[in-house]
Amino acid sequence: MATDTRPSRKLSLPWFAWAGGAVVLVAVVAFAYWTISPLFRSSMIDEAFPGGAAMAGDTMPGEAMPANAMADTPADAMSEGAMADAPAEGTMSEGTMADTPADVLPGEAMADTPADAMAEGAMAEEAKPTAAIPAEPVALSVGSFTTIDSLHGASGTATIYRLPEGNMVLRLENFDAQNGPDLFVGLSGHAMPRSSDEVHAGGYLELARLKANQGNQNYDIPADADLSQYKSVVIYCRAFSVVFSTAELGM
């Protein structure tokens, strides 16, 4: 029986096929690293509380001014200057003193001079009560983070504050969460969402990307946000629509 003595031809792929396969392999490895590596890494931050206490030299509305400050007011300076410029007692003749406006005007007329009327009006304005501006931040709502399962959970507190300037901020304190890819901080209309549908049910307000999975951190809340619409703070993986932790808000 005759045998085939022709050399066998090896199957070979064109170079661009190998190049394309290498690109796909690199992309898969990079995606796997981006997805899995955060689970084994941690980042930490420690932001100070936003704003600050009023300066010691600042005077809040309704507070009394220091005595030395009151002595230096323009009205007092004018009074002192006027007294210094007034002629000394005894230097004017009796005739001249008799002709001064103070001797000519009766007591009732003196009380009705424009200067006295202006002084009385200024005193009345000062006597009016002024609305007190809160000097300290006010906590509007607070909640504690919860654990969902062995891979998704966090601890610490989430508090929404109104600052003396009027703006609102969400502050996470003693925060410690399982890290993950593409994590964001948001407010949800659901009290304890466990799925993407529940996160967006009733409204969802995304604040910012999570700065770190550990430590104290602040997130600005838009001035036009209706806080009555939101019932929880959510740590949410946007890439895979997975809830990592929630904190139900209350007082």
Summarised one tens digit per residue, pLDDT across range 47-89 is 999 975 433 333 333 344 444 444 444 444 444 544 445 444 4
Q: How far is CA 203 from the centre of its chain?
A: 22
- What is the reported pTM? 0.58
CA torsion, ordered 70, 72, 76, 82, to nearest 10 deg: 170
pLDDT in the model for residue 186: 98
Domain extent listing, the chain: 134-248
Tens digit of pLDDT for each residue in 115-150? 565 666 656 555 555 545 568 999 999 999 999 999
CB 247, CB 235: distance < 8 Å: no
| Burial annotation 203-224 (CB, 10 A radius, 16+ → b, else e) | ebbebeebbbbbbbbbbebeee
pLDDT in the model for residue 219: 98
For all residues of the chain together, what is the average pLDDT?
Answer: 75
pLDDT in the model for residue 166: 93
> Roughly how many angstroms between the first and final C-alpha of the chain, as a whole number?
95
Mean pLDDT over 172-186 rounds to 96
CATH 3.40.50.150 is held by the domain 134-248:
no
